[in-house]
Amino acid sequence: MRNSLHIKGLIFVVIGASLWGIGGTASDFIFTTTPVDVNWYVTARLTISGIILLSIYTLFFRRKHRTVWNKHTVLMFAIYSIFGMTMVQYTFMAAIGFGNAAIATVLQCTGPIYIILYAVMKKYRPWTKAEALIIAAMIAGVILIATNGNITALAVSPLALIFGLASGVALAYYTLHAPVLLQVVHPLQLVGGSMLTGGILMNFVHPIWMFDFSFDWTALQIIVLILSILLGTTLAFYLYITSMKYISSTEAGILGLLEPVSAVLTSVVLLNVGLGLYQFAGIILILGVGVFISTRKAETS
């Protein structure tokens, strides 16, 4: 029974991470072939996914889990919703909009750099050799992606680079802040609630009903748009959260790297995104560091 649940968790995290990556490629396709912009798309993703995930929580988990909402919890939740969930979604989608899904997803994987920096500054402790190696390798990977080996010119849009690195910062905050709230809030309540909160705020930026109906949409574009939200966001988050009940955080961290792998593969194969040799080297370097970080957690825990 225990083995079957563990296998179930592994399957869930593999599918969830892959859907995240494929969802990024689908978003890239939507941005390049339709008039949909980042603002409307983030509004739609957050609002629709938030409603669905909160509905699942209300129907199946609310009676089993009681959350006590006090001023501190509400404040923490609001901060997390804005600077965690909404910023992660917006910066990531903006990086795709100004660049492509492959590079945006890999740049988001620089999040561990900022987590390490936060830990060093908060605890006022010296660097370890492993941490210095991680940061140096991550920086080298970013430089290779940004320049494709030619340091005199950028091979990536400056805005794509800025938003991609910003998504890494947002992901680091998202990762550090979530465990505190998960002590009192159900995972689906946290993710669904923060998504809906972000969606409501984004509606003031670009209302979801302000949609370009005059555009001559093809069946493929409509299907990709709907599935990118339902599968690439809602189902991906749900499967990843559910998997955490059955597998370790180390396993989830390693298998979660399927997100950038699937984004790179689908971008290159389906969208014909061109990546230089040095950019591929940078991607492999950053993914390799990601595997090293995950296995290092297992050894030190």
Task: Read off the pLDDT of residues 111-138 as tens digits, 9 standing for 90 and up.
Answer: 878 888 888 787 767 778 888 888 888 8
For the chain, the first-to-last Cα distance in angstroms comes to 26
Residues with Cβ within 8 Å of residue 158, at least 6 apart in sequence: none
The answer to whether residue 283 scores a pLDDT higher than 80 is: yes
Both tokens of 133, joined, read 């190696």
> What distance in Å separates the CA atoms of residue 280 and residue 213, rounded to the nearest whole number?
39
Domain that holds residue 279: 2-300
Comparing CA positions, the residue from 198, 227, 221 lying closest to residue 22 is: 227
Q: Are 185 and 77 in contact (CB under 8 A)?
A: yes
Residue-wise pLDDT for 83-113, tens only, equals 999 999 999 999 999 999 998 998 988 887 8
Look-up of token digits 């750099």: 113
Mean pLDDT of 228-251: 82
> What distance in Å separates the CA atoms of residue 100 and residue 24, rounded to the nearest whole number?
9
Both tokens of 12, joined, read 């869930």
The answer to whether residue 1 scores a pLDDT higher than 80 is: no
Comparing CA positions, the residue from 12, 30, 19, 8 lying closest to residue 93 is: 30
Say what the alpha-carbon torsion angle 250, 256, 261, 262 is, to the nearest 10 degrees: 150
Mean pLDDT of 33-61: 94
pLDDT, position 130: 83
Mean pLDDT of 146-173: 88
Structural domain count, the chain = 1
pLDDT, position 18: 92
pLDDT, position 2: 63
Mean pLDDT of 34-39: 94
> What distance in Å separates the CA atoms of residue 28 and residue 50, rounded to the nearest whole number?
22
Q: Give me the chain's average pLDDT, please.
A: 87
Mean pLDDT of 146-169: 88
pLDDT, position 115: 81
> What distance in Å separates the CA atoms of residue 182 and residue 230, rounded to the nearest whole number?
24
The answer to whether residue 78 scores a pLDDT higher than 80 is: yes
pLDDT, position 297: 56
Identify which has the larger pLDDT, 102 or 297.
Answer: 102
Mean pLDDT of 187-204: 94
SS3 214: coil
Q: Are 29 and 265 in contact (CB under 8 A)?
A: no
